[in-house]
Amino acid sequence: MAGQYNVTRHVDEKPVGKAGASVSIDMPRAYDQRYWIIELFGTIHVESIGGSGDNVKTTAHGVASQISNIEVRANGRQSIFNVPFTYLVLGRHEDYGVGGTDQSMTTINGLGDGSNVVAGVTYDVKAVGFIQFDTVDGERPKDSSLATNQMNMFQLIATWGNPADLFALDSDPVTVTRDLTMRVSISETVELVDPKTGTRSYPQLLRKVTAIHQPVNATNRAQQIVLPTSNSMKSITVMAMDENGNYADGIVTELAAKSGLDTRFQVAADTMLLDNRAKYGNRLPGVITLDFTRVDGPARLADCWNLTSQAQPVLELGVVNNTAQPRYVDVICVEYLALGSGM
């Protein structure tokens, strides 16, 4: 009978560069990927504060904004993960019974709400994100571990954020310099070959996570966001951001996930916030997850919303914006597709 063992190891580090620039890291291609840990750490030096100087406001997601996006790409073209780093900093938040990252890890240590920011002072900062390949809340978690031994290319691509995003748009202007590093570590499963059959165990599913970024320009009881088709949807996470760049409750008031007459969710946002906090604990404001696979206990992936034959699934949101500035929602879709005996 074939066996297995797990390995956790450091892969690489990259200095955070110019806003909008990207850097790629060639990732190992030998074993099955379980999860990755992405640490962002270093210092923020406050050069100067403009305006009155007593109205400095940091954003709720703080230093996590300094990596704007993370993509995992296989074979040079297949995007497996493509999401804001802020979503990854939520940790394993959607996995019932596991819990998420301590949200204090997303703030600027020593800055708090920004009221005590001092020009000329250097602050230590840190944010930690998780890329989850296996399904830790499922009945067979390793069914969706990512097999890499048949790939010809495997990359992590990070896009750097803007230092201005550390502070809310209605804050006094703050000029900073940053000295930040991104460190990547991975956890893998080494599947051993069965000496009798000469075969090894392979994952059966591919977990794909992508984001849809959409503006909220006005109050709308039924703003529609077109969802991806062709796969099975495990969950949808909505992250609502106000006009000042902060994640906030109250922007999304209702949620419906439907395709024609097939309606899977139609619920008030306040109800889902209570449901989510009971399941996942405290999270950033404005974050709501709709999970199609579970009422209680382990997730049954057979209960995913099968969109392979759906004409046009949509997420319909009741949204509020009474300001002259746009608000935004990020919609994170977690999908699964079946694999053969290898990738």
Q: Is the dihedral of CA 256, 257, 260, 264 positive or negative?
A: negative
How confident is the model over 16-38, as a mean pLDDT? Answer: 95
Distances 78 to 72, 215, 256, 262, 297 between C-alpha atoms, Å: 8, 26, 29, 30, 32
Tell me the percentage of the chain whose pLDDT exceeds 70: 88
Instruction: Report the CATH superfamily, name and number, of domain 4-338.
Output: Viral coat protein p3 (2.70.9.30)
Domain range list for the chain: 4-338
Entry field: residues in the chain: 343
Q: What is the pLDDT of residue 102?
A: 43
**pLDDT grade for 239, boundaries at 50, 70 and 90:** very high
Question: Which tokens sit at 190?
Answer: 């080494």
Q: From CA 335, how far away is CA 209, in angstroms rounded?
A: 6
Q: What is the pLDDT of residue 203?
A: 80
**C-beta of residue 274 within 8 angstroms of C-beta of residue 332:** no
Question: Which tokens sit at 304?
Answer: 């995913």
Whether 310 has a pLDDT exceeding 80, the answer reads no
Residue-wise pLDDT tens digits, 106-152: 444 444 455 567 889 898 888 889 999 988 776 677 777 888 988 99
88: three-class secondary structure by DSSP = helix
**pLDDT grade for 97, boundaries at 50, 70 and 90:** very low
**pLDDT grade for 317, boundaries at 50, 70 and 90:** very high
Distance of CA 213 to the CA centre of its chain: 13
Whether 175 has a pLDDT exceeding 80, the answer reads yes
Q: What is the pLDDT of residue 99?
A: 44
pLDDT, averaged across the chain: 86
What phi and psi values does residue 171 have, to the nearest 5 degrees?
A: -85, 155
DSSP-assigned states of every residue in 215-266: EE-S-EEEEEEEPP-SSEEEEEEEEEE-TTS-B-TTSEEEEEEEETTEEEEE
Q: What is the pLDDT of residue 60?
A: 72
Q: What is the pLDDT of residue 96?
A: 45
Helix spans in 7-135 (H): 85-89
Q: What is the pLDDT of residue 106?
A: 43
Q: What is the pLDDT of residue 323?
A: 93
User: CB-based contacts of 38: which residues, under 8 Å, 6+ apart?
Assistant: 67, 70, 85, 88, 128, 129, 130, 131, 158, 182, 183, 184
Residue-wise pLDDT tens digits, 178-217: 999 999 999 999 888 888 887 777 788 889 999 999 999 9
Q: What is the pLDDT of residue 139?
A: 67
**pLDDT grade for 91, boundaries at 50, 70 and 90:** low
